[in-house]
Amino acid sequence: MSVVMVLLRRELSLAWARGGGALLAVGFFVAAAVMLPLSLGPTPARLAGVSSGVTWVVLSLASLLSLDRMFERDFEDGALDLLALGPLPLEIVSAIKCFAQWTVSGAPLALAAPVVAIGLGARMTVAPMIFAAAALGGLAFAFLGGTGAALALASRRGGVLIAVVVLPLLTPPVIFGGAAIANFNEGLPWVGALSLLAAYALGCVALTPFAMAGACRNAQS
């Protein structure tokens, strides 16, 4: 078995054990969505009008859960030093960690997003777009969250620092994903917005591992 597959299996196991894996993220996502009718009222027309947008915003917040332990556990027990000395560069290690985080948390959230949106009154025809946007957005959220987690290494209030660093970076995917869903729902051109979301997600996948590796080396020095 290759080194990449061994590391991926390890990271998937750790990502699931870290804070309950998908259970915590999906549980928070569903709980926040259930609270929406309590604040806006149970009027179907009102809920249907905001269901897709609110689902997308809550999805981005749910993706931030358990990110603070992505690098911290390995940093505390010395495993990060061993990974830095291993055959794979830290950039590849960081990318694998983020991909594992997306697999365990982002993918289940993408599957749950259309169900929650339909439960709030969204049309069935919008479900494929919500899933596509959630899958692409979740990939960006995982890699941006990994960057925040790496920058927060060795800091006392890492969770707060991650939120401060990551939340502004989540604005573009939230805008692009929300626009794609809204345009699709209203019969307007949506390919441009979804393409921008995909480009942003791929840009995060390509660039953020270098920032994560640099932050890890800085914390180790």
pTM of the model: 0.87
178-199 confidence digits (pLDDT tens): 888 888 888 889 999 999 999 9
218 Cβ contact list (under 8 Å, min separation 6):
none
Structurally, how many domains does the chain consist of?
A: 1
Q: Which domain holds residue 214?
A: 3-220
Query: Residue 184 corresponds to which tokens in the numbers above?
Result: 């699709």
Give dist(CA 64, CA 60) in Å, integer: 7
CA dihedral 195, 200, 202, 204 (to 10 degrees): -170
Query: Residue 61 corresponds to which tokens in the numbers above?
Result: 């917040």
Average pLDDT, integer, range 61-77: 77
Q: Is the pLDDT of residue 88 over 90?
A: no
Closest CA to 210 of 113, 112, 105, 91: 91
Closest CA to 165 of 150, 175, 176: 150
Q: Determine the pLDDT at residue 158.
A: 57
